[in-house]
Structure formats: C-alpha cells, structure tokens
Amino acid sequence: MWKGRFQQETAPAVQRFTESISFDWRLYKVDIEGSIAHASALEKAGLLAPVERQQIESGLKAIGQEIDEGRFPFRVDLEDVHMNIESALTSRIGSAGGKLHTARSRNDQVALDLRLYLRHETDEVCRRITALQRALVGLAGKCRETILPGYTHLQRAQPVLFAHHLLAYIEMLDRDRERLVDGRKRINRMPLGSGAIAGSTIELDREYIAGLLGFPEVTRNSMDAVSDRDFVAEFLFALALIGIHLSRLSEDLILFATSEFQFIKISDRYTTGSSLMPQKKNPDVCELTRGKTGRLVGNLVSLLTTLKGLPMTYNRDLQEDKEAVFDSIDQIKLVLEVYTGMIPEIEVDSQRTRQAANDPGLLATDLADYLVLRGLPFRQAHEVIGKMVAYSIEQRRGFAELKLEEFRRFSELFGPDLFEVLDVDRAIDHRTATGAPSRKNVAAALEAWNAILREQP
C-alpha cells in the first residue's frame, strides 16, 4: 500500500498489532457492494472504460462468492478486508483493478462500509424485535384474565392483569424499535467521495453513487464524514437499551419461576439442570441475558471512551469500533431469537397468581379512593387507611374479615358498600383510565398491538 514511501518492511509484531482482517472480514459483502458502485462512478467520470468496469464488477462478485464458500485466503499482511479484496482483484484482472482506488481512501471506504452494514443490521434487529413483540402479545392473549400483584420496590402494590405486565415490555421494545428506525436516518448518509480528509481533485458524482447504493443523501463535510462514529454510538446505545429491557424482563421471569413465587414455569427446552443437584431447573437463558447486557453496555462505553479524545479527523483508534459493533449485534440478535422461542412456551399458573393478588393489602389504595369519593381529602384518607392497615395486621385479619363497625372507628364515611371495593375483579375493572389495566383496556391494547404487528415486516 505504501511501499513508495517506506524503505523497510513492517515488523511482524506490528502486522499482528495493526491488522483488522481477523474481524473486519465480516464487511466483505458491503465492501464489494460499495466498490461496485464506486467503479460505476469512475466509469461515468470517464476514468474507467466500460470493459474495465465490467472486469472489476465480475472480479469482485467472484471474490464475494469465494468468501461465501470459505475458499478465499485472507492475508494478515494486507491488514484489512479492503486491501485483501483489492489486492486479490488486481492480481486477477490486472491494471483495471489498480484503478479502483482512484479518488477513494480507506477512510471514506470504511465509513461507507459501516453505514451499509449497520443499515442492514438495523433492519434485521428491528425484525427480531417485532418477532419478540408478537410472542409477548401471544402469551398475553393466552392469559388475559390472569390477575397477579403488581410490584413496587419488589413489594406487593396493586392488582394488575398479567397481560398488562407483558404489555409494558411490548411498549419498551417498541421504543427500542423506534430508536433504531430514527437512528437509521443518520446512518443512511453516503460518505464516499470524502477521501482521506478533504475529498479529491478528481471529482466523482457522489449523488450518483448514493443513488446506486440506496442512500437518500450524501454527507456534507468531508472531515466529519471520515471521522464520524456518532451513528455507531447511537446504534450501540439502542442495542444496550434493548439488552437492559430484556434484562429487566429476565429478572421478572427468574423471580416468577422461583419456588417462592411459582407464578410461571419456563419450558425444559429453555432451562438447564445442575451438575450436582438433580432437582434443579435453572433459568439460565434469563440469567445469561442479564449477563450479556453487561457486554452490550461495555461495548457502548468502549466506543464512547475511544471517541472522546480524538482530534480531527480519522485516527487509527477508530479501528477499535468494529469488534464492539460485531459483538453487540451478535449478542442482541441471539438474545432476541432465544426469547422469541422461549416466551410462547411459558406456562402461567393463574390460580397461584390470583391467590397472591387476593392479598387484602393490595386494595388499600382503593379504600382510600372510596373515602376521597365521599369528600375526604386524599392525604387524610391515606392516613385513615394507613391506620387501618396497622389495625388489620395487629388483628391478623384482612380487610374483608373486619366488620363495618370496625371500619367506622376510623372514619364515619365508611358505609356497607365498602365491601364491594374489596373485590379484586372489581378493582381491576374500575381501572379504566387510558393506560390502566382494566380488562377492557387490556383487550383493546392486545387488539391494537396485533393490528400494528401485522403491518410490521
């Protein structure tokens, strides 16, 4: 690449230290796609004869086929995927291959490859998110009548429908998908033609290249174009947040599957055993998901740390972005795939969850609302019910077991109809505000999500 300037060969240790072909070979498809478009622009500018452009395209496609089949000999001494492909092309078709790099630097070439690659992977991750959402909607539909305690601070709080609980994660995943779709707009800008830093005196039609590659616009500043990795950071943040959401779901499933809760059973196909204790059935998929989220967050932090001290423009530090990107993509796609298979096979014990939801303490807020609707300010109602909770605990009797006279010791506003409030089904169905977990709301939400997800690819 640079033998005209250097008089000595690169030291073997430096070759091993600087090479990236061991991981950036994964960019070969998009590198070939970008090179074919670049060759077309060179032909359009009169810098390649039509026959040369055809030789380049045919040669690149043949190399791509060999890589697909595992027959291509990648060389560490050629550093990266770009030079491996270009060197192989030139050795096969001669001088036409040597013209391909005209008006192009590896700086804008790798920027293009990353954008093409992340554009494709964004679409793929979005498809997997949609598949998981469908699985969650399917499970929610099966248990739309299942009531369980909702938790705050991991303490029983108020009754909700299990479907409503699952719908919360569907909402999280939809925001994840929206972030990816929004970030795709900033990925989808074409940097080729920016050169190493300042473009080239040989002007190519950048808009023409962008059209060939499906980019709606080109980058506007050559220095920014070759050093920008904002779009990579956004992408890694989106993947890290997907991981965080799935880690939270994992924690719920781990707790609900314990002997202490016994709300759900995770299929044998998505659990493992113990090498020592024959009785164990461990939720390893969920635990590994929590663990892998640390990797996703770590990859984001790694990139941000690399970027924070870089002067303009391209610096070799940016080579360190790719392993983080590839690892995060691999991990999140695998997690989404596994969860999409695991969720439909979860069994929910509706009797067990309802038993837990019958905890009379869960309706304390409903009793406070009862007093508010009879004119008592909420803070006073809150104090009254707090004293009643303490009394109930002292008496070792739930609210439903107390007599009206006992209620009236705490407030004269209590009437015989208070016992209607102490019904968990009524409590669910009276939560009718937008976003609340009444059966009617949950049924409507499931119908809406089914309609939305039918339209998603």
What's the pLDDT score for residue 2?
54
Please identify which of the residues 95, 153, 259, 275 carries the catalytic annotation: 153
Catalytic residue among 164, 250, 274, 438: 274
pLDDT tens for 88-116 read 999 999 999 999 999 999 999 999 999 99
Has residue 173 got a pLDDT over 90? Answer: yes
Structure tokens given for 231: 């779009």
379 pLDDT band, cuts 50/70/90, is very high
Q: What is the pLDDT of residue 4?
A: 67
- How much is the pLDDT for 9? 85
Q: What percent of the chain has pLDDT over 90?
A: 96
- Reply yes or no on whether 40 is catalytic: no
User: Is 350 known to be catalytic?
Assistant: no
| pLDDT tens-place string over residues 251-309 | 999 999 999 999 999 999 999 999 999 999 999 999 999 999 999 999 999 999 999 99
Mean pLDDT of the chain: 96
User: What is the 3 state secondary structure string of the chain?
Assistant: CCCCCCCCCCCHHHHHHHCCHHHHHHHHHHHHHHHHHHHHHHHHCCCCCHHHHHHHHHHHHHHHHHHHCCCCCCCHHHCCHHHHHHHHHHHHHCHHHHCCCCCCCHHHHHHHHHHHHHHHHHHHHHHHHHHHHHHHHHHHHHCCCCEEEEEECCEEEEEEEHHHHHHHHHHHHHHHHHHHHHHHHHHCEECCCCCCCCCCCCCCCHHHHHHHHCCCEECCCHHHHHHCCHHHHHHHHHHHHHHHHHHHHHHHHHHHCCCCCCCEECCHHHCECCCCCCCCCECHHHHHHHHHHHHHHHHHHHHHHHHHCCCCCCCHHHHHHHHHHHHHHHHHHHHHHHHHHHHHHCEECHHHHHHHHCCHHHHHHHHHHHHHCCCCCHHHHHHHHHHHHHHHHHHCCCHHHCCHHHHHCCCCCCCCCHHHHCCHHHHHHCCCCCCCCCHHHHHHHHHHHHHHHHHCC
Instruction: Give 37-51 pLDDT, tens digit per residue.
Output: 999 999 999 999 999
Task: Tell me: cis bond preceding 313? Omega within 30 of 0 counts.
Answer: yes
With cut-offs at 50, 70 and 90, classify the pLDDT of residue 393.
very high
pLDDT for the residue 322: 98
Task: Indicate whether 10 pLDDT > 90.
Answer: no
pLDDT in tens, 189-235: 999 999 999 999 999 999 999 999 999 999 999 999 999 999 999 99
Does this model's pTM top 0.85? My answer is yes
> Which domains are seen in the chain, by residue range?
12-102 (1.10.275.10), 107-192+220-355 (1.20.200.10), 359-455 (1.10.40.30)
Q: What mean pLDDT is predicted for residues 115-121? A: 98
pLDDT at res. 457: 86
Mean pLDDT of 237-260: 98
